[in-house]
Amino acid sequence: VNTGSKPDISRVKSAELYEKSKTYFPGGVNSPVRAFKSVYGTPLFIEKGDGCFIWDADGNQFIDFCGSWGPLILGHNNPKIREKVTEVMQNGMSFGAPTALENELAELIIKNNRFVEKIRFTSSGTEAVMSAIRLARGFTGRDKIIKFEGCYHGHSDSLLVKAGSGLVTFGETSSAGVPKSFAEETIVIPLNDTTAIEQAFTQFKDRVAAVIIEGIPANNGLIIQDEEYIKFLRKICTENNSLLIFDEVITGFRVGFEGAAAHYGITPDIVTYGKIIGGGLPVGMYGASAEIMAHISPDGGVYQAGTLSGNPVAMAAGIATLTELNKSSFYKDLNSKSQEFVASIQRFATARNYKFKVFTIGSIFWFAFTDKDKIQSADDIDANSMEKFKIMHRELLNRGIYLGPSGYEVGFVSAAHTKIELEKAKRAIFEALDLVF
């Protein structure tokens, strides 16, 4: 039953904080996607999180499906992570020297992952991908890289060309400040299009260092690729002696412990992870075969470094997180709970003939305003989708449900969402959909 719009939540304190933050930070934020520029109202300033809930500065409580944009697969303030971090912090917070904790997290990853023999920790996904690109160039002695329209790989120069995430949200998919000569080294092609990549390899024969793709593209909507296409990418890279880089900053440890590479059954040459491996603290990582990684300094000539890389507190959060994820039925339970949740939302929308599709894999979902079952890019959704998303976002906030503030971004279900909260969220989503359509 359509209950009509709910009154807006109070944002008095958030608005006050936002006025202040605007005097300190461009747009009042330290990362543009937080700015609520394409949804209703001022950004919410978050005060605390616990389990699947967050509370803002005005005391509004939300069931959170953003999860800090993906890292919080165990929910907020997970006691096991908190305890491990607190324990490690007693011994100091940074040494700029090796610690046993780095070995511990590396062992958890490498022993349970077919795709990396050696790894290097960084402090963000951006650094991990930027370094993976440099490694591919250093290893092959070539300059060009191929990336896909709408894929976001962090904010390093050569990857801010036709990118997703905040760039697509704000309507300008390439960044000012990237020298033309850098951007020229990046060849951008559409997803799921074999002809386009064949043409690129023909045109730039023997000059392509790497093809980089998000394991499952999730920054411009969720654009799940055909398995045959990913296998084709693997093949064409091998034939051309170019490396295949799987950017698994979102999908790594999200769709399964071995990420999208295992889902598709292919072996990338370099893999990047981030988000989840830091359990909410800043960690990124890239890894490859021992042969490829031998090119990284100090053994090899590809320079890459970081004052806080492998930071003990961040390693502790990663260890506590991956230890939980490595338990036998973790992904089965999480993914089936999530799939049930989205399936019932889809059933509701389909029964009412709403032009609305939930694209989903594992515990990732994307609400798309379209009646197409399969889309090639986020351009395929209805023209007024972002207006519809804006209404939906507002109605959901007013019903205690928090989605990331962009219709191009995906949502995440965490292990902390119980059936009770998912039921509550579903009811709110049904009401919001009735108001949108």
Name the residues that contact ligand PLP, by CB under 6 A. Answer: 69, 124-126, 129, 152-154, 165, 214, 219, 247, 249-250, 274, 284
**Catalytic residue (choose from 275, 357, 388, 390):** 275
Q: Is the dihedral of CA 123, 125, 131, 135 positive or negative?
A: positive
Produce one character per residue of 136-171: b if its CB has 16 or more CB atoms within 10 Å, e if not: bbbbbebebbbbbbbbbbbbbbbbbbbbbbbbbbee
- Consecutive H or E run containing 261: helix 259-264
* Shortest distance, position 140 Cβ to ligand PLP, whole Å: 21
Of 218 and 392, the one with the shorter C-beta distance to ligand PLP is: 218
The C-alpha atoms of residue 398 and residue 4 are separated, in whole angstroms, by 11
The C-alpha atoms of residue 407 and residue 169 are separated, in whole angstroms, by 8
Q: How far, in whole angstroms, is CA 258 from its chain's centroid?
A: 15
* Shortest distance, position 404 Cβ to ligand PLP, whole Å: 10
- Active site annotation includes 299: no
- Active site annotation includes 8: no
Residue with tokens 């490859």: 288
Position with the least CB separation from ligand PLP: 125
Of 274 and 287, the one with the shorter C-beta distance to ligand PLP is: 274
The C-alpha atoms of residue 53 and residue 64 are separated, in whole angstroms, by 6
The C-alpha atoms of residue 413 and residue 282 are separated, in whole angstroms, by 21
Of 163 and 396, the one with the shorter C-beta distance to ligand PLP is: 163
Which stretches does DSSP call E strand in 220-323? 243-248, 270-273, 284-288
The CA-based angle 147-149-151, given to 5 degrees, is 70
The two three-digit tokens of residue 430, written as one number: 């049904």
Contacts of 154 (CB under 8 A, 6+ apart): 124, 125, 126, 127, 128, 129, 130, 249
The C-alpha atoms of residue 304 and residue 285 are separated, in whole angstroms, by 12
Q: Is the dihedral of CA 39, 40, 45, 47 positive or negative?
A: negative
Of 240 and 251, the one with the shorter C-beta distance to ligand PLP is: 251
Closest Cα partner for 365 from 292, 425, 434? Answer: 425
* Shortest distance, position 406 Cβ to ligand PLP, whole Å: 12
Let me know if 367 is exposed, middle or buried by CB neighbors in 10 A (0-12, 13-18, 19+): buried
* Shortest distance, position 37 Cβ to ligand PLP, whole Å: 17
**Catalytic residue (choose from 56, 84, 152, 402):** 152
The one-letter amino acid at 265: G
Of 3 and 30, the one with the shorter C-beta distance to ligand PLP is: 30
Of 153 and 394, the one with the shorter C-beta distance to ligand PLP is: 153
Of 266 and 283, the one with the shorter C-beta distance to ligand PLP is: 283
* Shortest distance, position 109 Cβ to ligand PLP, whole Å: 17
**Catalytic residue (choose from 56, 64, 247, 269):** 247
Of 136 and 345, the one with the shorter C-beta distance to ligand PLP is: 136
* Shortest distance, position 284 Cβ to ligand PLP, whole Å: 6
Of 11 and 153, the one with the shorter C-beta distance to ligand PLP is: 153
* Shortest distance, position 156 Cβ to ligand PLP, whole Å: 9
* Shortest distance, position 411 Cβ to ligand PLP, whole Å: 14
The C-alpha atoms of residue 101 and residue 2 are separated, in whole angstroms, by 53
Q: How far is CA 89 from CA 78, 92, 96, 103, in A?
A: 16, 5, 15, 17
* Shortest distance, position 331 Cβ to ligand PLP, whole Å: 19
Q: Find the DSSP H helices in 77-179.
A: 79-89, 100-110, 125-140, 166-169
- Active site annotation includes 50: no
Active site residues: 152, 247, 275
